[in-house]
Amino acid sequence: MTIEIDAELHRRLFAGINEQGFSPEGWTRAPWTDELRAAEQLVIDAAVAGGMVCEHDPAGNLWITDPQAPADGLVATGSHLDTVPKGGAFDGTLGVVGGLVAVLALRAAGVPNAERLAVISFADEEGSRFNTPCFGSRTMVGTFGDEVADATDKDGISIRDVGPQDPTKAAGLQRRIGCYFEIHVEQGLALDPADVSLGVATRLSARGRWEWEVVGEANHAGTTPMAGRRDALVRAAELVLAAQREAEARAGAVATVGRLTPWPGGTNVIPGRVYGTLDVRALDNATRDAVVQALVDGFPDVAIEHKSTDDAAIFDPGLIGDLHACAHDLGVSAMDLPSYAGHDAGTLALSGVPSVMLFTRSPNGISHNPAEHSDESVCLDAIRVLAAAMARRLV
Ligand SMILES: [Zn+2]
């Protein structure tokens, strides 16, 4: 059976969505805004034209299914339509558009059991506005409880003010999903140097965030001799360098101090206190934890406080194998690739839904930036591979 991908539909939907929230500095579609709703409406119109039905669940995730969809065992794909502020055109949008185009192609080809095909556009994946990343999927699987709807933005407006009232009523809906695929623009620079079109994600890294504070003693920058100073920023600098060293010493680990605030912050004052952040990621939980433990042991004088962790999400070996086999059949180059970012597919995988991601080559490795890009030919190849892999799961 040949599966014909409608390249024109892909082009039209992708362009239409990216007319929403556009400015010369990038695309901004925050969740539960007019821009986001306009983008969703384009997807809904195309899905309905293809004979599918669309419904928002209580967390605001958009489900696109067949009118005769079964209660479970859905062969699903999707991503998200929200963006970070001044983000790129591809992150999220490609997975929703590509997923819908693949599903409509399979339905048009008359594949058996097509009523099991579904597309999900997850709500508030980026979490930029309310600091609630993967809101839709995490609420669905129960990682976020009801209090998440009280999260506020910088103006004090809560999710409940603008979005879902009772998001946890969506809890458990992931049990409808038999398996989940997500196309996504590559975030990093692995595929282009290897001259490979697609990356098959094997896992999402273990991640974690910490905050720390060094306490020294503020004093006069002129009258305090070097000997005996308690300069908190000098100690903080040692911690920054140690974080780099500990990550470099472990394969696949990365550590970043992204914020550093000395206090009181005067040119002629020795810093008495420094606040800092720490973001550590690694291929597995143990390596992430080892980096942090080394810093805790090396800096007993510094309070290092755990804020959040996400364990490594392992993708399904069967789905990984399917994507490779389909790419091979279609003559599209593909290689395994871990990802160091968070995605809804990772949330689903951690909750036990067999999941996988397919990354499209990014020539510059840039993401969350208007320069984010994948060639259209690579995107269409990804959609062909996705459609073929989803067809395998229908039989
Ligand atoms: Zn994304």
Which CATH number fits the domain that encloses residue 13? 3.40.630.10
How far is the centre of ligand 1, averaged over its atoms, from the C-alpha of 143 (Å)?
A: 19
Range of the domain at 68: 7-205+312-394
Q: How far is the CA of 83 from the centre of ligand 1 (A)?
A: 8
Residues 259 and 361 placed together within one structural domain of the fold: no
128 Cα: distance to centroid of ligand 1 (angstroms):
12
User: Which of these three, 248, 276, 310, is where a domain ends?
Assistant: 310
In a domain, 253, yes or no: yes
Within a domain: 220: yes
* Cα 339 to ligand 1 centre (Å): 11
Same domain, 199 and 329: yes
Residue 198 tokens read as 């697609």
Q: Are residues 210 and 253 in the same domain?
A: yes
The domain spanning residue 280 has which CATH number? 3.30.70.360
Quick one: 133 and 263 in the same domain?
A: no
Q: How far is the CA of 367 from the centre of ligand 1 (A)?
A: 9
Residues 232 and 134 in one domain: no
User: pLDDT by residue for the chain (395 residues), tens digit each?
Assistant: 679 999 999 999 999 999 999 999 999 999 999 999 999 999 999 999 999 999 999 999 999 999 999 999 999 999 999 999 999 999 999 999 999 999 999 999 999 999 999 999 999 999 989 989 999 999 999 999 999 999 999 999 999 999 999 999 999 999 999 999 999 999 999 999 999 999 999 999 999 999 999 999 999 999 999 999 999 999 999 999 999 999 999 999 999 999 999 999 999 999 999 999 999 999 999 999 999 999 999 999 999 999 989 999 999 999 999 999 999 999 999 999 999 999 999 999 999 999 999 999 999 999 999 999 999 999 999 999 999 999 999 98
User: Tokens 């009280």 belong to which residue?
Assistant: 150
Domain boundary residue among 310, 329, 344? Answer: 310
- 122 CA to centre of ligand 1 in angstroms: 10
Residue 273 lies inside a defined structural domain of this protein: yes
Asked if residue 133 and residue 91 are part of one domain, the reply reads yes
Judgement on whether residues 131 and 219 belong to the same structural domain of the protein:
no
Number of domains in the chain: 2
Are residue 338 and residue 199 in the same domain, yes or no? yes
**How far, in Å, CA of 79 to CA of 320, rounded?**
18
Residue 187 CA to residue 27 CA, distance in Å, equals 17
Output the CA 296–ligand 1 centroid distance in Å.
Answer: 32
Please give the distance, rounded to the nearest whole angstrom, from the Cα atom of residue 288 to the centre of ligand 1.
Answer: 23
CA of 91 to the centre of ligand 1 (A): 5
Quick check: 224 and 204 in contact, CB under 8 A? no
| 127 and 266 part of one domain | no
**Is 200 found in the same domain as 78?**
yes
Residue that finishes a domain, picked among 250, 281, 310: 310
Beta strands 117-122 and 62-65, pairing class: antiparallel
Q: Is residue 1 part of a domain?
A: no
Residue 155 CA, ligand 1 centroid: distance in Å = 25
Ligand 1 center to 184 CA (angstroms): 7
The widest CA-to-CA distance across the chain, in whole angstroms, is 83
Residue 271 CA to residue 265 CA, distance in Å, equals: 7
Distance 234 CA to ligand 1 centre (A): 37
Q: What is the pTM of this model?
A: 0.92
Residue 154 domain flag? yes
In the reported structure, the alpha carbon of residue 39 is separated from the centroid of ligand 1 by a whole-number distance in angstroms of 15
* Rounded distance from Cα 129 to ligand 1 centre (Å): 15
